[in-house]
Amino acid sequence: MSDSWNKNSIPKSRTIIFGALVTMLFLGYLGHLFSLQIVDGYLYSVRAENVKRRSTIIPAMRGEIFDRHYTVPLATNTNSFAVEINPALIARGEHRRVFEDTAALLGISVQEIERKIPQSVYHVYQQIEIRPAVPFETIVCLAENIHDYPGVSWVTKPVRTYPEAQVTAHLLGYVGDITPDELQVLYNRGYTARSVLGKSGIEQQYDELLQGQEGRSIRTVDAVGRRVADHNVQIVPPEPGHNLVLTVDRRIQQLAHDALGERIGSVVVLKPGTGEILAMVSYPSFDPNQLYGSGAASHFSRLRNDARAPFLNRAIQSSYPPASTFKILLTTAVLEEGLISTDDTLFAGPHYRLGNRIVNEWRPSGFGRINVLQALANSSNVFFATIGHDYLGTERLLSYTSEFGFGIQSGIDLPGERPGLVPTPEWKRRVFNSPWVGGDTVNVAIGQGFLSVTPLQLANMVALLVNDGVLYRPHVLKEVRDGHTGEVIERTQPEIIQTLSLKPQTSHAVRRAMRGVVRGGTAEPVITTPVVEVAGKTGTAEIGSQTDDWHSWFAAYGPYETQDPDEQVVVVVMVDAANDWEWWAPKAANLIFHGIFADLDFEETVADLRQRRRLWYM
């Protein structure tokens, strides 16, 4: 009986074990199938949907730039066209021919297209931008012959436009496609290879505020990227960049531009009580509209090779000897130190000799004994050489020069500002390996030698005196506004950057001396406007002992006295010695002051001054 049980029980137990294993295997497969079909089904469906959906960038409108009145923009956007190529739509062997025809149509090189569409992407169904800012006439020609251009298409794309290009070029700057080097630096800030970037001026300084946020258009495509349907398109609209409101007054900007004319030089007009720049002009200028799109590369090359350096903003990026305008600082220093009074007189002329250094008075006979007010009014070289070397001395002279902001950047919100140069004994020893001598002090005292300043620094010097020793940081941005609503997001507040504890009688005496320059001094023949009392200082800087070429300066403010300091403006005009000598700086300033306070444009200003002169002679 025992043997019979063993023979029957062994097969039965094996069957049970085998059945259990089969059952477990089945349940395992069933669980895995459940996981694939149910648990992971949603994940795979989402992945499949992503594979067949393709997003396209919708470019954002760059923020507009306005003058202080927030009316008509100085920089805006216009709808233009960009030509694109989808390389996968071109038949095999036809790419070179299509590229050559397209390049000829757009006026670019074949190599430029091949750099953007190498052979490795010929199979890709993707629109690749070849040329932005394409003229409408070119698009018409392309459309009429589209059968000759397989894979070539066009889209609308906003392009930066500057309505008053030549007048505002150095202030606003220009834009261009981002370069690979720039992208490496800016990638983590949200910039892409398609970004358009500010290259100079306000466009560069506040590029991130102006940029905006790109949108997206999401469509259904097939396995190789071709569009298969236009329904169920998802649009993520772009966000425009912020609008910028500048401190600049477009009327004064145009007036200053016209007053300077086609003379190499610059003009700065600012409000001393706030540091706001009302106008900043530099000549020669350029047209930023021609620096983006078709022909931009060749136009940029011509400008870069121009010996007159049209890209240079001479108001902040060029420095010159200040010449006699620097005598304003010496007058301030010697009075503040109590070394002389306004009644004390010194013998002025015809020469001042210090070793081998001889300073000649510009009037051959000299001026005899004069006080400091008369010396500034008549721009006496001998007088200021005397007080610079014999009274102030090197240390105090250079100390006041630095305290007035020379030799350092003002921090204006424009890129590329230069600090100028205040020479010191240490600087001369380091650069020339020679000691400082008395003649160096004399040179600084009369605004010559190694000393160099920018027109903006000279404007700050005048502003500091107008404000009794307080200097505000010059700035161009007034407000940041929302690109949709126009609501003010941020407003620039005046910022004090320098305070000199000047005695009230010192700044008052210096301003009185500056008024004397116009009333009976060197500027009397040219500052003829009767609508505002102007106080200022002329300057003629020689550029070498072997030449008769001179820089022409005029640094001034008006009204001379007022109950409303907010109406005062500082005007500095600098005309480079590269121009034919005509002493134009004070003449241009006269036109600017008259136009500002008579509320006239340039043509009206010229006509009004001529009419007033005729009436005066009658």
Three state DSSP letters for 455-473 = HHHHHHHHHHHHCCCEEEC
Q: Predicted confidence band at 36 (pLDDT cuts at 50, 70, 90)?
A: low
Confidence at residue 243, expressed as pLDDT on a 0 to 100 scale: 97
98-138 pLDDT per residue, tens: 999 999 999 889 998 998 899 998 988 888 888 888 888 99
> What does the block give as tokens for 613?
């002169």
Secondary structure in 3-state letters for 278-346 = EEEEEECCCCHHHHCCCCHHHHHHHHHCCCCCCCCCHHHHCCECCHHHHHHHHHHHHHHCCCCCCCCEE
Confidence at residue 298, expressed as pLDDT on a 0 to 100 scale: 86
Dist. CA 154–CA 141, nearest whole Å: 12
The residue with greater pLDDT, 589 or 12, is 589
Q: Predicted confidence band at 50 (pLDDT cuts at 50, 70, 90)?
A: low
Using a 10 angstrom Cβ sphere, with 0-12 exposed, 13-18 middle and 19 or more buried, the burial of residue 583 is middle
CATH code for the structural domain at 250-294+314-617: 3.40.710.10
> What does the block give as tokens for 501?
């504890």
Return the minimum-mean-pLDDT range out of 38-47, 53-62, 154-163, 335-344: 38-47
Show Cβ contacts of residue 135 under 8 Å, excluding neighbours closer than 6 positions.
Answer: 81, 294
276-297 pLDDT per residue, tens: 999 999 999 999 999 987 678 8
Return the minimum-mean-pLDDT range out of 44-53, 122-131, 194-203, 348-357: 44-53
How many other C-beta atoms are found inside a 10 Å radius of the C-beta of residue 4? 8
Dist. CA 540–CA 485, nearest whole Å: 50
Confidence at residue 618, expressed as pLDDT on a 0 to 100 scale: 41
How many other C-beta atoms are found inside a 10 Å radius of the C-beta of residue 15? 10
- What mean pLDDT is predicted for residues 578-585? 86
What are the residue boundaries of the structural domains of the chain, listed by start? Answer: 2-51, 54-242, 250-294+314-617
**Mean per-residue pLDDT over the chain, rounded:** 89
Give the dihedral sign, CA 75/315/197/101.
positive
Expressed in angstroms, the distance from the first to the final Cα of the chain is 156
pTM of the model: 0.84
The residue with greater pLDDT, 193 or 381, is 381
State the DSSP code for 382. Answer: H
| pLDDT for residue 49 is more than 70 | no
Burial letters for 547-561: b for 16+ Cβ neighbours within 10 Å, e otherwise? eeebbbbbbbbbbbe
The matching CATH number, chosen from 3.90.1170.50, 3.20.20.480, 3.90.1310.10, 3.40.50.300, for 54-242 is 3.90.1310.10
Closest CA to 372 of 336, 345, 409, 406: 345
Closest CA to 540 of 524, 554, 520: 554
Q: Predicted confidence band at 5 (pLDDT cuts at 50, 70, 90)?
A: very low
